[in-house]
Structure 1
Amino acid sequence: MEPTTTIRTELENFMKQNALNITQFGLVAGINPGTVSGIVTGNRTLSVHQLDRITDTLGHPKGHFYKNYIEEFLNTATPNIRRVRPLLYHCAELNMLDCIEQVVNLLMEKLAYAEALFVIAEDFFKQGKFAASIILYGSVAVSENKQHSERLAFCQYRIFMAKQGDDQALNLEAANQLEPYIERLNEGDQLEALRNLANTYLSLRQWDKLDRWASVMDYKAQIQYRLAYRQERKKKRTPKRPNRPLFFYVAYSNLLHACVCEAKGDYERTLQYIRTYGDVSWVKDTSEDAQHWMRLFQEWAHANLYSVKLLSGDASVIPDYVAYIESKKDETLVALCNIFEAANRYQINVDYVIQRFESSINEFIKQEPKSVYVAQNISDQLIRLLYELAYYSLNRAMHSHGFIYLLNCLRKSALLNNEVFFIKCMNLFEKFRNFASDQTDSEYYNLINEVRKERLFYF
């Protein structure tokens, strides 16, 4: 419950109720008595540190008086950034976003504070306080809007990254908002921004957009790669480099093009792209980091050759594919998606694959990925796997297992706002509803009603 009286009134009432004079309260709270006197009489400004001590002494939780503090001490004049910086950090820790917004609105009356707010926003972002960082980046972006500056673009990029999460509709909205700012970014940030933007479209299965931005990344990476090695030969100072070796972005763009072609069923072009990114013989970078990524691209090419052959209808590769992923746990989820999609497409019996990877499938359902983009891609692939497993099991009369997979797929599709797979699951359930138990039927309709109630989708 929010306090209805002022900080000074609560302080005075506490001192009266506990028969404390100013000196005694100062000793209890660890504040200089002269400072307490100035606060009580209204002749002294209260710092956030002193406010926290008073709040604790009065028996309230940290942050209890922050809204009062903004109204009583900061609203009267434009606050000093040094005084409110601790308040912003404390509000971020307590997730008091409305207070952060109030303070930022006061500070932005002075455009000179934009730099300080940007630094704080960067701290919040690195600490994982994404919601708080979005407020600050947004305010800085507004202050830079008429200047079309590089910092404006970088703020928009950070906002995009901070908004990435489980809700696929929000991820798509954030990606669309970032697109106009890509060209304004520093060259050192551009390639990473393109990679992250492409990863979002990959997780959303937005193939046309993915194809477009993969081409942009390839074009810009090729230019930066050539310039970098030309400058090295001339021993000139090189510009800021992205987080990963420059060749990575060239190879990764081809990997993304391969994903697009595979999704569209163009397996001949998929193979061409796989061979292209699997060939790293042209790379001049000999650093340890570069060698690491070169090995990974070669491994990915090896694994994806199996998947393309399988999705083309060549079931003979399944034993080799299974043997490969047993030694490569990072490839298991994607490989299982491919195996069961092919099994459903070509009516291949892969019962033994379910038995062999049952524990892995259960782990995928339970696990919570740490990285933003790993989380996106794993969530997308897991929904796809659950649907393919449900489809496979129900078509082979393994109804109890099939409905378990289907209900899990429905739950995760609703949680991640994935309307496409939610509707596919509904259609699959209706096709096999006569084989559902009363309990399964009840769980299904409870899920549907819950989604309708929250109006996540329109169906």
Structure 2
Amino acid sequence: MSIHQFSGQSGINSGTLSRILSGQQPIAMNHLERITKAMDLPEDHFYSLYVDECFYFSSPNWRRLRPFLVRSAELGRLDCVEQVVQNLLENLVYAPMLFEVAEGLFREGLWQAAELLYKNVSVSEKYQNSERLALCQYRLFRIAIGDDQTKNLQAAHLFECYLDRLDEADQLDGLKHLGHVYGSMNRWHKMDEIAEKMQQLATIRYNLQRQSDRRESNEKKTEKPLYFYILYAQLIRSAVCKELGDYNSALDWVSLYMDGSWIQEDNEEVKRTMAQFQEWGTANRLLYQVLGGQHESLPEYVEYISHRPDEIFIALYNIILSANRYDWNVDYILERFASYIPYRKYSTEFGEYNRQIMLDQHTKFLAELAAYYLHDNRKEGIKFILQSLESSARINNESNVIKCVDLFGQHRNQADEEENQQYKVQIGVYL
């Protein structure tokens, strides 16, 4: 095919095409895309060669490399992303530019590629006490959080060292995410410490904002309004008191987060936020009475949550806890809400419940459900032990594995041959 013919097929000027072929002009990213398309090849067919083109046959050019980095990330060519980053960071002047690309990829949900950039930029910044280094570590913490609790805890410990170097807006969001990790690990005192710090920081910032007639235009914004973090910290501290069995203190915190009279703003977002916290508070007041052994509050609690589908699983978990603690029969409640027992996602006004916390609660719920049925020597309890073991292995929850092993040992005589075999397989998976 002549240059003229290929020019028509690719849409590239024949003079430009001639200079590219003779090595007189570097190949721009849009030229590469057109050439590849005209040859009817996959878009990333020449990407590995293009890395060589950018570094070994011409000088690095950010106008070419930036779009190439982004498109490599979009197509999952992490090998090309890694090669470009390694070559560019031989000159540290590119670190801020790579960081900005990483931020864009992070916002777009391209977290694997963003992780490569953040890790490499972190290495280039490791001897500096910079906010950019802290931000890299914050993003790496967010990316690292998954279903494995042990890895989540390691990521939290690593990030916490950098927390105070962040802008206060990022600190608040970082504290929120740290609180979720420690909550999913049942580190209640650590969770309370994080919530207290969040409450103090958000209160100081909110009071300063109220005293100022206008916000600085360059002031970094938090994910949520500042009053949300104050209320959310109070909600967390209430939950910690509940987990520690201090229901009176938990109720005191409920009263605080249900009261939004101090909030200066008056708009629809404030109304939605307060409606959600008041709904949580109403449910939690009844819940804490149930957990405290007040059986007479159970029907009212059940009726309240029956109209709020996204609250039903959390309610079931706490009802089973109470039933096992006080020897209640709640069969009628389990039958009524049987469709909410399998794991599913739950949403609120502010988005989905934290996945790690919900997976942890669902794993423990299955173990409590097993204990509930086995208390009356009902064979279906064995099934829930096996389900809880499987979930425990998936999220690496050692304490729940131990609980399941104890339960199975006590009621092994109720398991048939197939269930005994499943039990051995599940234990083998965990070990």
Instruction: Establish whether residue 154 from structure 1 lines up as the match of residue 154 from structure 2.
Output: no
SS in 1 for 2:94: helix
Tell me how far apart the structure 2 counterparts of residues 356 and 330 of structure 1 sit (CA, whole Å). Answer: 15
The answer for the alignment partner of 2:75 in structure 1 is 94
Within the candidate set 177, 183, 199, 2:164 is matched to: 183
8 A Cα contact 2:310 2:346, kept in partner: no
Bigger Cα displacement from structure 2, 283-292 vs 138-147:
138-147
Measure, in 1, the Cα distance between the counterparts of 2:85 and 2:57: 15
The question of whether the paired residues in 2 share the 8 Å contact of 1:91 and 1:100 is answered with: yes
AA of the residue aligned to 2:171: Q
Equivalent positions of 1:125-164 (< 5 A) are 125-164=106-145
1:433 aligned onto 2:412: yes
For residues 70-85 of structure 1, what are the structure 2 equivalents within 5 Å?
70-75=51-56, 79-85=60-66
Q: Which residue of 2 aligns with 1:17?
A: none
Task: Report the secondary structure of 1:442's partner residue.
Answer: helix
Quickly say closer, same or farther: Cα 1:52–1:368, change in 2 above 3 A: farther
Question: Is 1:114 aligned with 2:95?
Answer: yes
Question: How much has 1:103 moved relative to structure 2?
Answer: 0.8
Q: What is aligned with 1:221?
A: 202
Stretch deviating more after TM superposition (32-41 or 137-146): 32-41
| Superposed displacement of residue 300, structure 1 | 1.5
Does residue 297 of the first structure (1) align with residue 277 of the second (2)? yes
Q: 1:404 to 1:41 in 2, by over 3 A?
A: farther
Distance of aligned partners of 1:65 and 1:396 in 2 relative to their CA distance in 1, 3 Å threshold: farther
Give the Å deviation of 1:309: 1.6
Q: 1:387 aligns with which of 359, 367, 382?
A: 367
Query: 1:316 is matched with which residue?
Result: 296
Q: How does 1:241-280 map to 2 (within 5 A)?
A: 241-280=221-260
CA distance in 2, matches of 1:28, 1:451: 58
Q: Residue 403 of structure 1 is aligned with which of 373, 379, 382? A: 382
Q: TM-score if structure 1 supplies the norm length?
A: 0.84
2:184 alignment partner in structure 1: 203
Deviation at 1:358, TM superposition (A): 0.4
Residue 261 (structure 1) shift: 1.8
**1:340·1:389 contact (CA, 8 Å) conserved in 2?**
yes
Aligned runs of 1:276-425 on 2, under 5 Å?
276-362=256-342, 365-367=343-345, 374-400=354-380, 402-425=381-404
- Note the 1:15-30 alignment, pairs <5 A: 20=1, 23-24=4-5, 27-28=8-9
Closer, same or farther: CA 90–426 of 1 in aligned 2, 3 Å: farther
Give secondary structure in 1 for the equivalent of 2:341: helix
In the aligned structure 2, how far is the partner of 1:165 from the partner of 1:388?
24
What stretches of structure 1 of length at least 5 have no aligned partner? Answer: 1-19, 453-459
> Which residue matches 1:13?
none
319-328 vs 94-103, greater mean Cα deviation: 94-103
1:285 is matched by which residue type in structure 2?
E
Distance 1:144 1:428 in 2: 51
8 Å CA contact 1:387–1:406 kept in 2: the answer is: yes
Q: How many residues align?
A: 428
Instruction: Check 1:245–1:44 CA distance in 2 against 1; reply closer, same or farther (3 A cut).
Output: closer
| 8 Å Cα contact 1:137/1:159 also seen in 2 | yes
Rate the CA distance shift 1:33–1:299 in 2: closer, same or farther, 3 A: same
Q: Which moved more, 1:88-97 or 1:122-131?
A: 88-97
TM-score (norm 2): 0.89
8 A contact 1:164–1:372 mirrored in 2: no
TM-fit CA distance, 1:99: 2.1
Please list the CA deviations of residues 49-75 of structure 1 after superposition, one character each: whole Å capped at 9, or x if unmatched.
444455456665332332333245424
Whether the 8 Å CA contact 1:182–1:190 is kept in 2: the answer is: yes
Q: Give 1:449's aligned residue.
A: 428
Conserved? CA contact 1:399–1:436, under 8 Å: yes
Residues 380 and 23 from structure 1, CA distance in 2 versus in 1: closer, same or farther, beyond 3 angstroms? same
**RMSD (Å), alpha carbons:** 2.7
Q: Which amino acid aligns with 1:270?
A: A
Q: Structure 1 residue 169: deviation in Å? A: 2.2
- The code of the aligned residue for 1:257 comes to R
The 1-side partners of 2:14 and 2:346 are apart by 51
* Alignment check: 8 A CA contact 2:164 2:171 kept: yes
Kindly tell me: are residues 326 and 39 of structure 1, through their superposed partners in 2, closer, same or farther at Cα, counting changes over 3 Å? same
CA distance in 2, matches of 1:373, 1:176: 23
Provide the C-alpha distance between the structure 1 equivalents of 2:42 and 2:415, rounded to a whole number of angstroms.
Answer: 51
Kept after mapping to 2: 8 A contact 1:165/1:372: no
In 2, Cα distance between equivalents of 1:207 and 1:366: 25
- Taking structure 1 as reference, are residues 168 and 189 closer, same or farther at Cα in structure 2, changes over 3 Å only? same
Classify 1:391/1:32 alpha carbon distance in 2 versus 1 (closer, same or farther; 3 Å).
farther
Structure 1 residue 341: Cα displacement: 0.7
CA distance in 1, matches of 2:352, 2:25: 46
Residue 348 of structure 1: SS of its match in structure 2? coil
Paired with 1:369 and 1:430, the residues of 2 have a C-alpha distance of 37
In structure 2, do the counterparts of structure 1 residues 429 and 33 end up closer, same or farther at CA, with 3 Å as the change threshold?
farther
Aligned residue type for 1:130: W
Does structure 1 retain, via aligned residues, the 8 Å contact 2:346–2:353? no
Q: Distance in 2 between matches of 1:143 and 1:82?
A: 22
Alpha carbons of structure 1 residues 419 and 25: separation in structure 2 relative to 1, 3 Å: farther
Give the Å deviation of 1:313.
1.7
